Structure 1
Amino acid sequence: MRLENTGIDDAVVDLKPLDHLMGKHAFIRAGQWDYERVTYDYRIDSKEKNITYYIRIQGYALEGDVDRGNAVIKLLTPLLGKHYYPHGVEYGEDENFPESLVERAYGLVAKVQEEVEQYKK
């Protein structure tokens, strides 16, 4: 599910402060990057058996190199997904998400967006 109108879409930020502020809000990049793209995930455990939700914020380098840490990243529309063990994460519009989870996701992205504003280029 796309989390529309969050204000984070199309924000342009240097990688180092972006990594810092995302980590501060528990969005983890870990090994989810390549030379031109980054992906930050926030894990939300569920009471449902073998179900975990993820808020995913992705971006791509407009210039520089993610590997070298000098990239300038343009952020994309955040996603809310549901992980089905052992198959993977589904982000499709056909997925059903509890309203409270959607509200929580928007709230978490809003907190990140507030800080992104301070570092926007």
Structure 2
Amino acid sequence: MVPIESTIENTIFSLYVLEELLKPEGFVIGSSWDYDSGYFDYLIDNKDTYYFLRIPFYAVAGSLDYPGVTVRVDKPFLLAHQYQKGNDETAESGALSGAVNQFQSPSNPDADLPPEYINMGKDMVKKMEGLLIPSR
């Protein structure tokens, strides 16, 4: 994980406004959200390792499943997850097991980040700041 300094850290936005501005740029709300926190993820690359720029946010008024929720943005960071190649030998077969255990765990959840991806992440944060700061 590589934290990236940003002028949007600790700023407050409507989650709706964040979605309207960030989704057209390729950000998605990560699947690991809960009622009081979540992440906007930007996929940088996915060859053998998934490289993401991640923007954490936390509900300050309402909950994330409530229309009109207000969130505070936290420090952006880069993340690399390296996945196992091939079949998962420990996986069980069967319809129920397949429905429950459909995702493979990363073999290295905090893989190294190449310098070019760090630079790409910093550039994307600058672009994101340009989108978000005028909208406030």
TM range (shorter): 0.7 to 0.9
How many Å apart are 1:24 and its aligned residue?
1.6
> Can you give the 5+ residue segments of structure 2 that lack an aligned partner in the other structure?
84-103
Could you give the per-residue CA deviations for residues 11-38 of structure 1, whole angstroms, max 9, x where no partner exists?
Answer: 1111111111110211101534222112
Aligned twin of 2:105: 87
Structure of greater Rg: 2
Query: Is 17-26 or 82-91 further displaced after alignment?
Result: 82-91
Helix, strand or coil at the partner of 1:62: strand
User: Is the alpha carbon distance of 1:35 and 1:115 closer, same or farther for their aligned partners in structure 2, counting shifts above 3 Å?
Assistant: same
Q: How many residues align?
A: 115
Q: Which has the higher contact order (CA 8 A, sep 6+)?
A: 1
Matches of 1:69 and 1:34, distance apart in 2: 15
Please give the alpha-carbon distance, in whole angstroms, between the structure 1 residues aligned to 2:55 and 2:120.
15
Sequence identity percentage: 24
What TM-score do you get using the length of structure 1 for normalisation?
0.82
CA–CA separation in structure 2 for the residues paired with 1:64 and 1:77: 21
* Correspondence 1:15-54 to 2 at 5 A: 15-29=15-29, 31-47=31-47, 50-54=48-52
Say what the alpha-carbon RMSD is for the aligned residues.
1.9
Stretches of 4+ moved more than 6 A in 1?
none
